[in-house]
Structure 1
Amino acid sequence: MPADVDVLVAELRKFGAEATAVEVKRAAGGLPKSARETLSSFSNTPGGGTLVLGLDEASGFAAIGLEDPAKMMADLASMCREDMVPPLMPEIEIAEVDGRPILVADIPELAKEQKPCYVRSLGKERGSYIRVGESDRRLTSEEVQQVVADRGQPQFDHEIVSDATLDDLDRAAVDAYISRMRENNPRIFADEPAEVVLRMTKVIVRGAKGEEHPTMAGVLALGRYPQQFFPQLNVTFVHYPTATGESTQAGVRFLDNVSLDGPIPAMVAEAMTVIRRNMSRRALITGEGRRDMWEYPPEALREAVVNALVHRDLSPGSRGIQVQIEMYPDRLRIMNPGGLFGAVNIDRLGEEGRSSARNSLLMKLLEDVQVPDEDRTVCENRGSGIRAMISVLRQAGMSPPRFKDSTTAFEVMLPNHTLLDDETVAWLQLLGREGLRDSQCTGLALMRRGEVMDNAKYRAATGITDSRVATFELQDLVARELVAQTGTRGGARYTLSEYAETAHVRGRRARPNRRRQVLDLLALHRELSKSEISELLGLNPKTAEHWLRTLKGEGSVEPTQPGRGSKHTKYRLSAKAMQESLFGDPDL
């Protein structure tokens, strides 16, 4: 449940419903039936969401109130118990906004083994929904099957491809695979015949009549042409000339349009070739001089392509969906069917020790299958791919990837821009980079591009692994009046302050000289506490604390009593400050 309804409403009015995972309904005539769809969608969507009754989105989320909030609460609780399968037990509370009663219900995401949540009267196939943007979308029958399959460890990559034989495997790739297995695991495989190695590693299995057939994993990893059995298990690449994907005025619809077939190792290699021929190079200016780099670092692209191919959903309902790569002037998107699997979510992607494989057999095989013409295997199977992708982009001075998990699909989006370009560096200089860490500059640059930060996003963007360090750095930016905070604790969000947003227009002098103000106040009042300075200057207490800490560090102020500071500690000008007459210098 949101800790502060006023904060929730403020976020709605500032960011909108889509950015806050909130569904708002007027509910002027009673509990709307469409609330069932929202209950289903939030229960099935990563992160869940919040249902608010009694606000009018069309009027800027104005409070219209509820005639009988207690009855509305009882009706909503009954709907959750009686109309939904499985029954839901959200936290519901009556709150007051602008003097009028509203209802706020927090709908948590269900555990995987309980999904999908559906409307009882419509049945599982027609009554299961998922959240897409600001709307509830009904899951297709195939998507429902995907969700059900994800309740346990999927075994689709273990399936026997009954139409395939050993002749449908690539002999050269198979020989290289067997050699590698014997070399890396001599105790197990050194003396075993080739077919036994393939059988032990489940590249092939015996059918009901004793005949040998490749598994789906075997065909995808080592097959000559897997698409003869699974025509859509391939990769499509489209290069659009416009950011919207529309044709140009001259009628050009695509700059490139390719369908890539073959086993996964070949598709990885060919996808990289196609992307490279559609990329330009750009200059990156570093302390070591100028470096020419690709628009997108190849290593980051490779990790994204591999992840899409090896983690895609292989259930029957998804075998008609390709892995899609779309290039636009300002971004590159890589999409695959099947959302995140296992104990992994968007906020924790890339964390050390966080790895979960939907296609465990396929991943295991590809760990020992080489990419054509490369001295490397397709994947390491160590859960390090996302971390490597983020690290490479950070080293290239680029924004981190953006991930989108919709339970039945997953998307990686790479923005096509240098994060700390000349314009952004000049803007940071206007803000005053003194004392800022590189990670804070990265966070500010992302917020300047419209990102709404929280602790998890900040850590992903900067490479910080400790949430406490991230909190300290974000709070320091708040104290410096460069960032505005909405919400508290786990719900805190950070955006640029008004001063930071307009610094490029007004210049650095537009910000009040807080240092001078604090010194003048202490000269006038002789002794003041942090809270008194905050109140007199109308500052965030963290800002007052920041300047007292800064002035104390340089020897301009001192506590009136020795010992550890507290909110009641009083401060005064130091003898040094009095002697040097700091007040007359307009730059202070």
Structure 2
Amino acid sequence: MKQSELDSHLARLRTLGRDDALIEIKAWAHKSESKSFWETVSAFANSNGGIIVLGLEEPSFTPAPGFNAKDVEDRIRSGLNTSDQHAIRVEPVPDYSVELLKVDTQLCVVVTISPLTVNGPCFVKSKGVSNGSFKRVGDADQRLSALEVYELQHRFDKHASDREHVPGTDINDLDTSLTKAMESRLKRQHSRLDFDETNKWIKQKSIVTQDGELTLAGLMALGEYPQQFFPQLFIDVAVHPGKEKAPAGENTRFVDRVLCESNVATQVLDAIAAIRRNLRTRRVIEGSLGKDVLEIPETVLREALANAVMHRDYSAPFRDQNISVDIFLDRVEISSPGGLPGGKTTENLDDGQQIPRNSTLARLLQDVPLSHEYDGVLAESNGGGILTMINTMKSVGLPRPTFKVDIARVTVILQRFGLADGEVASWVKERLGDEFSIAEGAALVLAKDLGAVTAKDLKRQTGGDSGELQIMLDKLAQQGSLIESSQGVYTLSSAGAQLTPAQQDVFDAVSNTEELSAQQVSDLTDRPISTVRAALRHLVEIGLITATAPPSSRKRAYRRT
């Protein structure tokens, strides 16, 4: 680490007034801090890595009196020395670096811990695996659950839980019509499988074992009712009235609730239907044609749900957990049991490289029709699902999906507030009329939310051609919906907002650089304060100006967006 990097981190922490998920500060003045150091090493190794700075006091993050950097450095190197099993303090030892850097005039020890690249968990030897394994949660080190320990113990294994036989099952537990539809599809594709009178192909596809019992993959892909054997392997769709779940202990009130059972293809179709019922649609004009567009495109929902059923952990400790879909006012969250397998991280999820957790199930889902009548399949398994989600969300003016990854659970978050949102659509219509393209709508929304928009911003959001987007921005400026405030940079115009004379006067008085109070605007416009306040309120609502404080604050002032 460079000295400038450490200085930058410390400046951030001093602003926060505490540690964060990446940096831990310890004075190392007491024996308890020496003890907790190894817990933090474990936490960073089992999470996303991190940096431990030793020799500083909190909350000032200034040098701790009496800190002996060389002595502490020697003790840390000894505790991480894999050639001395008696001195080693954590196991397995993660990749690390130890450096001496200055804060003010005193040397501090900076320890950088990398995430584990082998099966874990990294644990404090004196405490054992169960009590000595930790993860980083915010600025704290939290002990791992038994499920999280299990997940890390097998993270880099070649998983085969989907090939396990399911006791008590046989070919009669398959959905006959779906199985026949799959057979017909394979025959049309001139498969080399053996379609003899004994249904040998079913064994060749690992749907059943040599003993005649179904594999877990076969049961989940083609079973008539897998929940007879695994009651919790379903998708739970819950619609919440607000932006968060009800606090623990309160009576939970759902707007809608659907438990989607049967095989995974049926579960996904039923889940999509339940989500569709609780999302909005809007009419979009592209060229001379119009079409109804779901608030979150169905392609995105299908890919997210397919990823969930295909890549969730089906090993024994996770079979009592379902996939959850939570629909909030501002987003949809799809959460599946199990962490990311192998070397997958949030940074490389969209690289197109697959590390399938359930390779047999994934292969089956390339051949199982989505329904008895429809020849399309649930999963292409070509590694492009997440890229498809990202590009599709961009194309309709929505933020790209985000992923929240814990050791034993992965959640994809899909934002709802795009051009299909009623308030946003009404705001855009007020400026562009009823007929506008997705790119035109996105341009105005970005100008409103970011204060300005460029062709580069739009390309990142919509994936469109930079040259065509630049022409479109120029056109919006010529129409008066945007103003080119500097070369290639466009801000909102007041012309398309259909302002009253009073509102226009107030807008003209508000500055781009100086914050003005309502009274100052009243003095500048020579209009009554009540009229000015009403106009300011409207201008804030439509995004032309920004308020600097809540309505109840005496310090509330205004400037142009």
Aligned CA distance change for structure 1 residues 371 and 15 (closer, same or farther; 3 Å): farther
Residue 91 of structure 1: aligned partner: 97
Residue 167 of structure 2: aligned partner: 162
1:106 positional shift: 0.7
Aligned CA distance change for structure 1 residues 7 and 285 (closer, same or farther; 3 Å): farther
Over residues 430-482 of structure 1, what are the superposed CA-to-partner deviations in whole Å (9 max), with x where a residue is unaligned? Answer: 98868x33x43577xxxxxxxxxxxxxxxxx6769xxxxxxxxxxxxxx99x9
Over residues 41-72 of structure 1, what are the superposed CA-to-partner deviations in whole Å (9 max), with x where a residue is unaligned? Answer: 21122x31112234455x3x532435212222
1:174 positional shift: 1.0
Residue 298 of structure 1: aligned partner: 298
Task: Please give the alpha-carbon distance, in whole angstroms, between the structure 1 residues aligned to 2:36 and 2:449.
Answer: 50
* Mapped contact 2:94–2:114 kept (Cα < 8 A): no
1:23 positional shift: 2.4
Task: Please give the alpha-carbon distance, in whole angstroms, between the structure 1 residues aligned to 2:221 and 2:169.
Answer: 14
Aligned CA distance change for structure 1 residues 159 and 266 (closer, same or farther; 3 Å): same
Residue type at the aligned position of 1:129: F
Task: Please give the alpha-carbon distance, in whole angstroms, between the structure 2 residues aligned to 1:117 and 1:204.
Answer: 38
Residue 440 of structure 1: aligned partner: 457
Over residues 226-283 of structure 1, what are the superposed CA-to-partner deviations in whole Å (9 max), with x where a residue is unaligned? Answer: 1111111111121111213237xx9772212232211101100110011111112346
1:366 positional shift: 0.6
The 5 A counterparts of 1:273-284 are: 273-282=273-282
Residue 554 of structure 1: aligned partner: none
Over residues 23-45 of structure 1, what are the superposed CA-to-partner deviations in whole Å (9 max), with x where a residue is unaligned? Answer: 23343325431222211121122
Match of 2:196 among 177, 192, 196: 192
1:311 positional shift: 0.2
The 5 A counterparts of 1:26-425 are: 26-29=27-30, 31-45=33-47, 47-56=48-57, 59=59, 62-65=61-64, 67-81=67-81, 82-88=88-94, 90-111=96-117, 113-186=118-191, 188-189=192-193, 191-193=195-197, 195-206=199-210, 211-246=211-246, 253-282=253-282, 292-351=292-351, 353-372=352-371, 374-418=374-418, 425=444
SS at match of 2:30: coil
Task: Please give the alpha-carbon distance, in whole angstroms, between the structure 1 residues aligned to 2:264 and 2:50.
Answer: 37
How many aligned residue pairs are there? 446
Task: Please give the alpha-carbon distance, in whole angstroms, between the structure 2 residues aligned to 1:144 and 1:151.
Answer: 13
Task: Please give the alpha-carbon distance, in whole angstroms, between the structure 2 residues aligned to 1:131 and 1:387.
Answer: 29
* Mapped contact 1:227–1:234 kept (Cα < 8 A): yes
* Mapped contact 1:54–1:64 kept (Cα < 8 A): yes
SS at match of 1:32: helix
TM score, norm. by length of structure 2: 0.71
- The two structures, once aligned, show a CA RMSD in angstroms of 3.4
* Mapped contact 2:236–2:260 kept (Cα < 8 A): yes
Which segments of 5 or more consecutive residues in structure 2 lack a partner in the other structure? 82-87, 429-442, 465-485, 490-507, 516-561
Task: Please give the alpha-carbon distance, in whole angstroms, between the structure 1 residues aligned to 2:266 and 2:417.
Answer: 29
1:313 positional shift: 0.7
Residue type at the aligned position of 1:279: L
SS at match of 1:214: coil
SS at match of 2:341: coil
Residue type at the aligned position of 1:328: F
More helix by share: 1
* Mapped contact 1:183–1:190 kept (Cα < 8 A): no
Deviates more, 1:193-202 or 1:122-131: 122-131
* Mapped contact 1:143–1:317 kept (Cα < 8 A): no
Residue 528 of structure 1: aligned partner: none
Over residues 101-137 of structure 1, what are the superposed CA-to-partner deviations in whole Å (9 max), with x where a residue is unaligned? Answer: 43321100111x3422111122223322222333222
Task: Please give the alpha-carbon distance, in whole angstroms, between the structure 1 residues aligned to 2:19 and 2:230.
Answer: 37
Which segments of 5 or more consecutive residues in structure 1 lack a partner in the other structure? 444-460, 465-478, 483-503, 512-588
TM score, norm. by length of structure 1: 0.68
Aligned CA distance change for structure 1 residues 441 and 508 (closer, same or farther; 3 Å): farther
Of all paired residues, the percent bearing the same amino acid is 30
Match of 1:428 among 442, 447, 453: 447
